[in-house]
Amino acid sequence: MSRRQRGLGTIAAIMILVILAALAAGIVSVSTSQQMASAQDVLAARAWQVASAGTEGGLWRALQNATCDTQTWTSADDPAFRVTVACTFGDFNDGETVPGTARRLRVFRVVATACNGGAATCPDNAASGGAGYVERQRVALAYCQWTGLACAGP
């Protein structure tokens, strides 16, 4: 084998190694992206569950205790997440209970926002640009017949 042919073999081997290294780097990049996307999906599902618990707690407070305010608490089941529950209400007349007496309804709107940021309330605008931050929001509406002090029924 001539000296010129051996040099060509070395160049071909180096080219193959460079191509294999680029292929390996691409595979690692795709694998890392898929792993991060999977982790985000898991965090999003956890945030949705905490937001669900927040809407249920907010509706219970509104319908059972006639308490409609804004509160933030850390999830007991998943301490990495907090939920901010905001409740608003409005009173409306809907038909009559007896002729001449309006049926008064109170409509509650409960908004639960769950997140895993470091702020005291959700949403956490400072952490929202981070790769591991997730936030989910649920809105629930409920009404009851309002006596002026408490819910009397649907």
The structure's pTM equals: 0.75
**What mean pLDDT is predicted for residues 26-34?**
81
d(CA 27, CA 34): 11
Q: Is the pLDDT of residue 15 over 80?
A: yes
Whole-number percent of the chain with pLDDT over 70: 95
**Token representation of residue 107:** 């409509």
Q: Give 69-86 pLDDT, tens digit per residue.
A: 999 999 888 899 999 999
